[in-house]
Amino acid sequence: MSPEPPPSQNSGQHQVPAPARAVRRSLFLHSALHRRPQEMLRGMLEQVDADTPPNGPDGPVAVLERRIAALLGKQEALFFPSGTMAQQVALRIHADRRGRRAFAAHPQGHLEVWEHRGYAVVHGLRCHPVGDRHRLMRLADLAAVGEPLAAVVWELPQRDIGGLLPEWDDLVAQTSAMRERGAAIHLDGARLWEAQTYYARPFAEIAGLFDTAYVSLYKVLQGTGGAVLAGPPDILAEARIWRRRLGGDVYDAWPVALAALHGLDTHLPRLAAYRDHAVAIAAAITADGVARVAPNPPQTPLFHVHLPVGPATADWAAEALLADTGVELFGRTRSAPDPDRCSFEVTIGENAMAFTPDEVVALLHRLLEYAT
């Protein structure tokens, strides 16, 4: 039985309640279909033997920290239960060391949009949103900030504008200029793994532009959660204290570390193939004209699909598609200035590798048929 007809576009709803549907296939990276405990536990078990200790220098967390420090070319790395905590701690330390309370970041940066401004509420920091919210930060935008800054944050790629990345020379110029002004240079590398497919440079070369770097353990790596902050030993020694203060010193974090190690082994080598598939799907959508993609072509395995219907209608149509086909097309819609348009994010992982470009185009046509 199909869902009820879509609500009015003026209702303000972005998520339409509907009965639970059986998901058989999903284009959505973080679908529950791909995160079933038994499957994830099987991957963790591949990382251990009978003698693996839960903690200590040979435990999974320490192994993970050393591995990521080596990947990023940093002296040390420190596990955190979340990227939210890791980034706030890094910015707090940079601010305290410089006696400055302001940092700069993109207006649609993760710290600003997704974390309830925890940097301000918990740490008393201020954010300067730099530049136009619909395009990347530019050197001129950063130069226009008059207040002395404790740090500048670059999110690579910039998720909420479609996974855009600055060109390498631009990034080098921006980080160099802000370092000359005395600001710490911090990488929000939640999706650094994906960004590397565009820059085609070693992770250590990219992270080498930054004083501190955070990476996520659960996004494209498909772990159970967690994050790692990498940087110099003196900063991480202080970060370890802040981790304890904020309740993040998890004693038995080995399951999270094992899931991340499995992701490094299985997904990291596949990222170039994921990006190629993203480019192929985006090209098929563009050639057909059923929707628009941004950026076009995708720079990373992440891109946005822009639909010619509003979010409430798209949500309803997606429920109808799921009910009739068992295919989950996306996790959520994003509104647009035009109330009769919306978009959704596609991140290519093993889930999306199972869909051919033509099949995605056909699914979009069917989605829009439901929507009209």
Domain annotation for the chain: domains and CATH numbers: 9-37+269-371 (3.90.1150.10), 55-251 (3.40.640.10)
Q: Which of 194, 154, 179, 198 minimizes the C-alpha distance to 302?
A: 194
Task: Give residue 17's pLDDT.
Answer: 38
What is the distance between the alpha carbons of residues 318 and 6, in angstroms, rounded to a whole number?
Answer: 11
Q: Which of 165, 158, 218, 163 minimizes the C-alpha distance to 188?
A: 158
What is the distance between the alpha carbons of residues 346 and 28, in angstroms, rounded to a whole number?
Answer: 7
What is the distance between the alpha carbons of residues 239 and 241, in angstroms, rounded to a whole number?
Answer: 5
Q: Which element (helix H / strand E) includes 79? A: strand 76-80
Alpha helices for the chain (secondary structure H): 37-45, 60-72, 83-98, 110-113, 118-123, 139-143, 168-180, 192-199, 203-207, 233-245, 254-266, 271-288, 311-325, 350-353, 357-371
Q: Which of 271, 281, 289 minimizes the C-alpha distance to 350?
A: 271
Cis upstream peptide for 311 (omega within 30°) = no
Classify the C-alpha dihedral 34-37-38-41 as positive or negative: positive
pLDDT tens digits, the chain, 372 residues: what are they? 445 555 544 333 344 434 446 899 999 999 998 889 999 999 999 999 999 999 999 999 999 999 999 999 999 999 999 999 999 999 999 999 999 999 999 999 999 998 999 999 999 999 999 999 999 999 999 999 999 999 999 999 999 999 999 999 999 999 999 999 999 999 999 999 999 999 999 999 999 999 999 999 999 999 999 999 999 999 999 999 999 999 999 999 999 999 999 999 999 999 999 999 999 999 999 999 999 999 999 999 999 999 999 999 999 999 999 999 999 999 999 999 999 999 999 999 999 999 999 999 999 999 999 998
Task: Give residue 14's pLDDT.
Answer: 40
Task: Give residue 22's pLDDT.
Answer: 87
Burial 180-211 (b: 16+ CB within 10 A, else e): eeebbbbbbbbbbbbbbbbbeeebeebbebbb
Percent helix, percent strand, percent coil in the chain, to nearest 5: 45, 15, 40
